[in-house]
A and B are shown apart, each in its own frame.
Chain A
Amino acid sequence: MGLGIRALRATRSSALGRIYSTSPIYHRILSPSSPSFFRWIVTTPELQKPDAAAEPAPQPPPPPTPVGGARVQITKPEDAIEVFVDGFPVKIPKGMTVLQACEVAGVDIPRFCYHSRLSIAGNCRMCLVEVEKSPKPVASCAMPALPGMKIKTDTPLAKKAREGVMEFLLMNHPLDCPICDQGGECDLQDQSMAFGSDRGRFTEMKRSVVDKNLGPLVKTVMTRCIQCTRCVRFASEIAGVQDLGMLGRGSGEEIGTYVERLMTSELSGNVIDICPVGALTSKPFAFKARNWELKGTETIDVTDAVGSNIRIDSRGPEVMRVLPCLNEDINEEWISDKTRFCYDGLKRQRLSDPMIRGSDGQFRAVTWRDALAVVAEAAHNTKPEEIVGIVGQLSDAESMMALKDFLNRMGSNNVWAEGNGVNPQADLRSNFLLNTTISGFGKADLFLLVGSQPRVEAPMVNARIRKTIRATQAKVAYIGPATDFNYDHQHLGTGAQTLIEIAEGRHPFCSSLLSAKNPVVILGAGVFERMDKDTIISAVETIAKYGKVMRPEWKGLNVLLLNAAQAASLDLGLVPEANSSIETAKFLYLMGADDVNLDKVPGDAFVVYQGHHGDKSVYRANIILPASAFSEKEGIYENTEGCAQSTSPAVPTVGDARDDWKIIRALSEVAGVYLPYDNLEAIRCRIRVVAPNLLQMDEKEAPTVSAALKPEFTGKISKSAFGTTVENFYMTDAITRASKIMAQCSATLSKRK
């Protein structure tokens, strides 16, 4: 197909050139060679001048560009083989399939069952190509490419074979595209435009299949299923749940859960994306919009610390759905269910107007001018050491910077981010980052998880660990409360006691740690809240030193953070001066902080809540300043590996809300301590002074690892077991707690987990 278009284009351009070059009329009139005075209008000049057809020199066709800009990495030159795709020679590494070779050659092969991240099934037969000296067309996705193979993708035989396959696929596929949610982004729809017939020869009844109940997220219309088994392979290979399977044979074949049960995976939403037809679609998105009405905005997810790349699809001022974006280093092409389905929380419980709590305890809406004046006055009436600021989970780097600058100018340095605990270690970046990086997990052969349940804390990290385990049979050891893993693991113990045993070399696990080549130790950020966290951290560091986890070429000591704001807050130095400042606070500035325990705040303290959702802390607030959510602003978020990424606004802000840093900037002017930045560039210049790595978007600045890790652990260690950090996967922050879909999920799915 590719060659055909290219050849067509070449002839067309040369024909046009010829027409233009021979146009002036007087040439023809004056020229003695013209046979007659009049000349008929002809559309094919070649017929007039027989030698013109042979005139243009056949240009060599441009080198083929791979499909989707894919790059081929040939690690060993001796393993490279050469195949010919439609006559073009292509160099590919050994072991690639014919389909992959065609992709490298820039020929897109139609496919349904083949997915580059799943195992090869080869059951849809849509990818048939002709191979020279092969008697039949071959399924290119399952056929390994052999040296010197001559692959033909646009021959009549290949086209006819695909048309035949398409006819059989459409035999039992309902003609309900007008009411199908996949309509417009359906592989079957697209490919039937190329290979489908305009009428069917099948006069019997179409079969119908009973719909399965896969829970509140995935809607099934099983009659539309073409049995590509992508969902089955995804569930068993990536998500690690054995829920889905194939039942029956022949025309009775259907996808199902065998017994009635829900799909209990935190990645279940991805089957919606990989389903090539409309058999699995999004339940919350059902019949809400068509995909061509939607505007896509590529942005960053903030519901966990991984910073998955997402695309927010919006229609007008409304977020309609969230889809993953490809990022090989972070989320590949998957996202967690929380990321995908929390978007309806953006529409509920929103703070839209500045509000002041009157003397009767009731909130009433006021103007920004009045609200800021009240806050500024209250801040000025407080002693500087009693001013405290707390930054919430979803704050971006700009607003954290602005809040810290503002409170510093007010004379206070008590500003921190929730979840970081007391005395956070912000001096060395390697102490709070995922140093191995998510993609670096692929090389690991041993994982030690300390107080971290990655399946609920960071599902994308968990998926990467699982991928590594599947690929290299890496071992996983786990210290913490018993939880559900979707891979084999060795449960060493529940509390810090086990950790000490390993650090002192008394535990049987030490031998496997020492024998591991690339061990990875992951410390959950949940231990930051513990009183004995310094001891635990130094114990982990001792283990790291002892097991040679941190080496110049292998950085295996990791901290898995929980919140989107955590890494940036530590980079910006949001470290409180005093530990117990919340007990003595008289002026408390909460910037989206909903998970702080406000019981200890004195009753006469003036609490400002700036945020986008009326969640937990607004009930204690004296004044509410509405801010914009992550889908409505541009802001820098640093993920747990230290990779700074920026969100982009998909929808306008609600009501009278403003961007976080703009509110603080305006407040500083009202308060008389002028912050010197008026736009995003200016505040980013300020961030560049404090943490320049935050401005290097999509890049990970590797932390410098101190050679001498703190070896000794002293101090008391509590006997209590590590806690479960994330109690409810589906509800962790203000947005997800406001979401109805997430509430449904936690009601139906968490129970079964």
Chain B
Amino acid sequence: MSKLLVSPSPHIHSKDSTKSLMLDVVIALIPAVICSVVFYGWQELLVLGVCVASCVLLEWAITKYMLKKPSTIGDLSAVITGILLALNVPYTTPWWVVFVGAVVAIGVAKMTFGGLGQNIWNPALVGRVFLLVSFPTYMTTWSKPQGLFGVDAVSGPTPLGAIQEGLMQGSTVQELTSAYDYKDLLFANLGGSAGEVCALALLAGFVYLCCRKVIKPWITLSIFATVALTSLIFWVINPARFTDPLFNLLTGGLVLGACFMATDYVTSPMSVWGGVVFGVGIGFLTVMIRYFGSYPEGVSFAILIMNSVVPLLNMWFKQKKFGRK
């Protein structure tokens, strides 16, 4: 009797093509990785190392001992999850906290749902949000970049955190943003996660992936456009309370989130229009959380919320089938 394999979308057909896609993503992430290690030093390298190693090890162990299936670490998706999670946490995070994050990202968000292709939520983000809730002091203590061999970490709020705190104290946005130079935001002289500080390196990687046709740019572009447009509207109405669009585009994990996390194959819509709506939702939610929510940063939550909506988007915006009008 022949076996009919029925599985949920998206369908990844052969391990080899998955691997080559993932390899391209790893290559695209290399500039950001190098950038963050140069800025944050050996501690960032440690975080990256522990994260990637834990993710790979956990996936191998779970597939071998719990699922009793052949190992899937060869497709490099665990490596990517590891890199992305590491880029999202402060470089001063202790190794065991990073390990817990990896357990949640791989064990809970990915393998519990059935492995690659079956998860609903972006594993790296689930891990990151879990850590944010579980270890708030480690995860909200952002230290300024130290350079390759720096030792003393001076902690301070990220630009977004400073804005939120300042607003609660009654300062206006103009007073607060005058402390920051946009050049600094782009080239990372301020505290923040590695994802925040290496915007140019990340954008370079994104362009590479678009050229290689690994990802289509509409999700990312619609996120940027929506963030810019929404924050523009609010900023024009009340510049003392709301930060301007350029500030919003450059701070927080937006560049990392838009380029690498929202575009994850498994957790994003398949069709073009589905992707655009997805991007619009993420952009809008990010701005809302930043302006009105309790957390200074909203990209992680926005992406996770929109991940939940993806099955619906896939249903509403069906991909064009060959042979049909």
- A, B from the same assembly: no
Interface set of B (CB-CB < 8 Å, partner A): none
Interface set of A (CB-CB < 8 Å, partner B): none
